[in-house]
Every structure is written in C-alpha cells, then in structure tokens.
C-alpha cells in the first residue's frame, strides 16, 4: 500500500478491524473508541495524520521518542498496549451504535481480566459513558475497577476533539503516569 491511503483504500477499509497490541502484564492498556478508516487501511492504531495520540504519548513521558503509528509493535517494550471498545472501522466514532459500545465494554473487561494491565485508559469520555452506562463520568480516574484493573478516562486524541491541544492531552496522560522506567530506557527489541 502507498504511504497515504487513497479515497478508494479508505472506503475499502470500512468495517475492517485492527489487531490489538497486547501490553505486558502490569503495563498500561490504552483503549481507543474504534479504528478510523485511515487506521483500518494502514493496519495501525491512531494512524490518521493529525491524531495526537503518538505526540501525547511521547510528551507525557510514556516513550523516550516520538513513535510513528507503524512502530506500534514497539509499545509492549515500553509496557504499553492498545485495543478498542468497538472493533469495526468507521469514518467517525458517532457511526457506532450504543449497543456496539456496550458490547465492547463487556469485551474490554474480559480482555483486561486475561491480560492484567496495571491500568486501563479509555480514550474518549463520551464513548466511555455509553459503553459503561456512566453518563456523568469525567476525564480522570474512575471509581471502581475494570476486570481487576484501575480505570482512567483520557480525552479522545482525534484531531476532531478541539477541546484539547497536544500539550493539554499530554498533561492528562501525565496524570495517568507511564509504567516505571518508561521513556528513560531504550525499548527491548
């Protein structure tokens, strides 16, 4: 595939899925809402130019350098992983149904029970509210746990989320805190 997907590539990616990047036990699991078409076309999480996930991850100290989406395979060496609430790729997250998000919440809980991350960070408060039936949830730590792991909600890093800049996203990521040693050591290969 070309470095930038064409309009036809994007349309062909509709409803595709992307494999999870599984964190090591005790790592941090980031949970996006669902893959966008650009991500589904490339096979990389948070791949659309303008998505601020990768810059926020670096600016907050989770990684020692700015990774590109194509380097997502390095995340476990930093103690990190990525999954999504809903697996189906769409042009916009608001194309998902409440049922898809609720089902995704149940699947996420099973994933967390199996992989035992230190913390789960859902990226998108509106999707979190729907998936878990918590209409008043706010960004930050949540009461209770998910599958035995503490739960946080972070802002959606999409470029469409104008409420947060790359720096204010990084500030929220810093509140969560990277795994011990993240960003200060070279990743294991």
Q: Which two tokens stand for residue 87?
A: 């697996």
Residue 56 has pLDDT above 60, yes or no: yes
Is it the case that residue 188 has pLDDT exceeding 50? no
pLDDT over 50 at 5, yes or no: yes
Highest mean pLDDT among 2-16, 28-42, 159-173: 28-42
Q: Residue 143's pLDDT is what?
A: 93
pLDDT the model gives residue 179: 62
Rounded to an integer, the average pLDDT of 166-184 is: 77
d(CA 101, CA 139): 18
Least confident interval from 39-48, 109-118, 176-185: 176-185
Max Cα distance, the chain (Å): 44
Band (181; pLDDT cuts 50, 70, 90) = low
- Residue 156: is its pLDDT beyond 80? yes
Q: Is the pLDDT of residue 183 over 80?
A: no
Average pLDDT across the chain, whole number: 89
In this prediction, residue 69 carries a pLDDT of: 96
Buried b / exposed e across 158-176, counting CB within 10 Å, b at 16+? beebeebeeeebbebbeeb
Angle at 32 between CA 76 and CA 158, to 5 degrees: 115
Tell me what the mean pLDDT of segment 10-24 comes to: 90
Question: In the numeric block, which tokens belong to residue 47?
Answer: 């791949």
Q: How many CA atoms lie within 13 A of 83 on its CB side?
A: 19
- Partners of 140 in beta bridges: 153
Cβ contacts of 59 within 8 Å, gap of 6 or more? 166, 167, 169, 170, 173
Torsion angles phi and psi, residue 93, rounded to 5? -60, -30
In order of start, what are the domains of the chain with their CATH numbers? 7-176 (3.40.470.10)
pLDDT at site 180: 59
Is the model's pLDDT at 108 over the cut of 60? yes
Separation between Cα atoms, residue 73 and residue 59, nearest integer Å: 19
pLDDT top residue among 187 and 135: 135
Percent of the chain with pLDDT over 70: 90
Strands 119-123 and 149-154: parallel
User: 2-11, 15-24, 40-49, 119-128: which has the minimum mean pLDDT?
Assistant: 2-11
Alpha carbons 21 and 120: distance in angstroms, whole number = 13
């Amino acid at each position: 595939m070309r470095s930038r997907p064409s309009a036809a590539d994007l349309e062909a990616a509709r409803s595709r899925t992307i494999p999870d990047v599984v964190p090591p036990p005790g790592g941090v699991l980031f949970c996006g809402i669902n893959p966008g078409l650009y991500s589904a076309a490339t096979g990389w999480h948070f791949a659309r130019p303008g998505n601020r996930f990768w810059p926020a991850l670096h600016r907050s100290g989770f990684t020692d350098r700015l990774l590109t989406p194509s380097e997502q395979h390095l995340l476990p060496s930093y103690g990190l992983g990525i999954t999504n609430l809903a697996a189906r790729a769409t042009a916009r997250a608001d194309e998902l149904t409440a049922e898809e998000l609720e089902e995704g919440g149940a699947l996420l809980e099973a994933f967390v029970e199996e992989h035992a991350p230190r913390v789960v960070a859902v990226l998108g408060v509106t999707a979190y509210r729907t998936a878990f039936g918590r209409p008043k949830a706010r960004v930050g730590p949540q009461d209770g746990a998910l599958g035995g792991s503490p739960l946080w909600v972070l802002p959606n890093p999409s470029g469409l989320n104008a409420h947060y800049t790359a720096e204010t996203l990084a500030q929220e990521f810093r509140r969560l805190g990277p795994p011990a040693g993240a960003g200060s050591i070279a990743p294991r290969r």
